[in-house]
Amino acid sequence: MLNQRKVIIHTPDEIARIRHAAQLTAIVRDRLAELARPGMTTLEFDQLAGSLIAETGGKSAFLGYQGYPGNICISLNEEVVHGIGRADRIMQPEDIVSIDLGIEINGACGDTAITFGLGAPLSPDVAQLIEVTRRALAAGIARAVPGNYIRDISAAIEAVGRKAGVGVVRDFVGHGCGIRLHEPPEVPNFATASRGPRLVPGMVLAIEPMFNLGTYRVNIDRHDGWTVRTQDGAVSAHFEHMVLITEQEPEILTWPKTT
Ligand code: MF3
Ligand code: CO
Ligand code: CO
């Protein structure tokens, strides 16, 4: 458990490097979402991600992280996060795909995730789950302003999930991010007893709600030690943005700049 009071305030020079890493991560994320096709294996998809990351001049922030074996995380359907590409897993039109990727470049890190259907029409409940998770992230980001506390972000995310009646995952949380992939503080997706640290300009947070169609309870795969799945096998969704706290509006660092 990270020290709940500790925060990292990045310098302007660090923020410039973090902004660049985050932008590259966003570009690769959106490119990967366009390139995802039924019939590919998740290993092929991971390798495609590896080449796109290499083309940016950076490297995967995940590969080798605590022994993680993939370039990115690719989690299908009831897999919540940390799914590993596999040669025997062929992506199907019905699959709900979550991609989570990180790029390290010039001593800074980006981290971002999205969820989408691969092609088949989505059932109304799955479409709702994806939309609600995206909306919860937006609600959390809206509270990421100076003077608020981490818990304000957490409570906003949880409220959107509860109102929609989805399972709000508790075992995995958002985090500070920037120079290292995971920095203090933790950013839970539910209101905790502690209000956590106060937000100040220069903090960078990776905010990442994980919502399930059924129970909030999850298990880690016993064999690979990574893949997180819902206990009841119901579908899960995950979105993640990195956000810079500023004197004004929060800056979404993983929102691709069009200029
Ligand atoms: N990207 C995850 C996060 O959002 C962490 C992945 S850790 C890895 O925090 F080891 F799987 F890469
Ligand atoms: Co991530
Ligand atoms: Co993250």
The answer to whether residue 227 sits within a structural domain is: yes
The answer to whether residue 255 sits within a structural domain is: no
Q: 88 is written with which tokens?
A: 């025997």
Residuewise pLDDT in 10s, the chain (259 residues): 445 578 999 999 999 999 999 999 999 999 999 999 999 999 999 999 999 999 999 999 999 999 999 999 999 999 999 999 999 999 999 999 999 999 999 999 999 999 999 998 999 999 999 999 999 999 999 999 999 999 999 999 999 999 999 999 999 999 999 999 999 999 999 999 999 999 999 999 999 999 999 999 999 999 999 999 999 999 999 999 999 999 999 999 999 987 6
- Which atom of ligand 1 sits closest to the CA of residue 172? 9
The answer to whether residue 121 sits within a structural domain is: yes
The answer to whether residue 26 sits within a structural domain is: yes
CATH of the domain at 149: 3.90.230.10
Quote the pTM value.
0.97
Give 184 Cα–ligand 2 centroid separation in angstroms: 15
Cα separations (Å) of 226 from 17, 150, 172, 217, 252?
A: 29, 27, 12, 16, 28
Give 123 Cα–ligand 3 centroid separation in angstroms: 28
| CB of 108 closer than 6 angstroms to any ligand 1 atom | no
Question: What residue numbers bound the domain in which 237 lies?
Answer: 7-250
> Tell me, what's the pLDDT at 258?
78
The answer to whether residue 258 sits within a structural domain is: no
The answer to whether residue 43 sits within a structural domain is: yes
Contact 146, 194 (CB under 8 A): no
For the chain, the domain total comes to 1
- Which atom of ligand 1 sits closest to the CA of residue 66? 10
Out of 66, 71, 72, 81, give the residue to mutate to test ligand 1, the one with the largest number of ligand atoms within 8 Å of its CB. Answer: 81
The answer to whether residue 256 sits within a structural domain is: no
The answer to whether residue 69 sits within a structural domain is: yes
